[in-house]
Structure 1
Amino acid sequence: MLAVSELACLKGDRLLFRGLSFSLEPGELLRVAGPNGVGKTSLLRLLAGLTQPEAGEVRWHGTPLARAREDFHRGLLYLGHAAALNDLLTPLENLRFACAAAGDEAEETACVRALERIGLAAQLDLPARVLSQGQRRRVGLARLFLSAARPLWILDEPFTALDVNAVADLAATLSAHCEAGGAVMLTTHQEAPFARAPRVLDLGGRAC
């Protein structure tokens, strides 16, 4: 599905990693590990096409990403660590807008169910500006329940600010996505009850 070869990443004038090669196949859950500052978020942003590598190549189903970008983005759901919300809109309005912007059809009832499932039943009609950071994070995570058709999920710290029940539900959702033939790549500092232990890509030994 996704193949990375000899990847190098610069942040400013600092080389975060180089010579990084790995693959991600359908059905796999890959956790990117390592201490803070080693390049975990930078790697996810690079794979999502938000930044460019200093060296190396990323292939999507065998085709270089530069030639498969449109197909790749149709198959990708990327959720960064920061919530990207319009403070004047409600969680429901923000979720529907995000889905529409990504080209995903999401009926209002499905969005309401997703927000309720992530623990925002009482905040559906509040403006986003009054939400806590954890609640803002949950609005974005609700997209996971509406994006089963996108095979590749790349998630930066998805379990942050979730309670035990929400962590368990989200872990089950990620596991089910993999069991259905999708793939998940994530960073997390938290333990989660996945159906199967994730494969680990440890960047710690590659820090420069």
Structure 2
Amino acid sequence: MTPSPSAPALLLHASGLCFARNDEPVFGPLRFDLGPGEALLVLGGNGAGKTTLLRVLAGLLPATEGEVHLQGRRVDREHLARGTAYLSHLHGHKAELSTLENLAYTRALQGGGGTSPGEALAEVGLAGYEDTPARRLSAGQNKRLSLARLRLQSAPVWLLDEPYANLDLDGIALVNRLIQAHLASGGAALLTTHGAYAAPPVPVRTLALGAQELPA
């Protein structure tokens, strides 16, 4: 009997994941998986811990309990930071540097496959702003620059906190295209959204924080 082909390894697996602040539980225990081509939408009201969860998965905060595996291997905070790309509420740019200089810095630190900083700027609609300091960009333009920086990272797992915030309809469509392309290339995305933009136009599973959290 011919053995069936093995399923692709999970990109992200969390088990018993908890976070507490000042001994007060914020979320958990959580158990969830993300495989290649999958998107997971984190749901929950204000204070449920959506942003905190993404920060834990990005390696920016230490989990109180539990473990995380990336591509089948248990990882610590350092390796979480290397294996995930995090888009937060704060754009994280160097205000005095130009858009191109900010992206060149990102590429030098994290690599970017075959995409150049100039190509990434053009892809997000910032062609012509190569020499513009980040401090002179609007909120929507800064979000686009953050998306260009995301494009230059080779991490298989994207962590997107309110990726549609501060964007017009063209920007929202841009986010959807980037997510679709990332999933089509075998990546995965975990995201939070609000308002009318409930989810990108891809098959999405949900993870509810709060009263409906999953058992460890």
Partner Cα distance (1:36, 1:74) in 2? 29
Say whether the 8 Å CA contact 1:17–1:206 is kept in structure 2.
no
1:1-208 aligned within 5 A: 1-66=11-76, 69-70=78-79, 72-104=80-112, 110-147=116-153, 149-190=154-195, 191=197, 194-206=200-212
- Structure 1 distance, partners of 2:199, 2:114, is 28
Cα shift at 1:61: 2.6
Cα contact 2:14–2:69 (8 A) shared by 1: yes
Choose 152-161 or 119-128, whichever is displaced more.
119-128
3-state DSSP of counterpart to 1:51: coil
Whether the 8 Å CA contact 2:56–2:63 is kept in 1: the answer is yes
Task: Tell me which amino acid in the other structure corresponds to 2:88.
Answer: G
Report deviation, 1:3. 1.0
CA offsets per residue over residues 78-97 of structure 1, 9 Å max, x none?
22220111111111111111
Deviations 1:55-87 (A, max 9, x none): 111122332213x954x5443222222011111
Structure 1, unpaired ranges of 5+: none
Instruction: Tell me the percent identity.
Output: 42
Residue deviations 1:37-62, cap 9 Å, x none?
A: 11011101101111111111112233
Measured after TM superposition, the shift of residue 106 of structure 1 is: 6.8
5+ residue gaps, structure 2, are: 1-10
Between the aligned partners of 2:56 and 2:81, the Cα distance in structure 1 is 13
**Partner amino acid for 1:55?**
E
SS where residue 160 of structure 1 aligns?
A: coil
Q: In structure 1, what is the Cα distance between the partners aligned to 2:53 and 2:173?
A: 26
Give TM-score scaled by structure 2 length: 0.83
The residue type equivalent to 2:75 in the other structure is L
Distance (Å, rounded) in 2 between the aligned partners of 1:193 and 1:60: 24
Residues 1:63 and 1:7: Cα distance change in structure 2 (over 3 Å) = same
Deviates more, 1:184-193 or 1:15-24: 184-193
Distance 1:118 1:161 in 2: 14
Note the C-alpha offset of 1:18: 2.0
By percentage of residues, which structure has more helix? 1
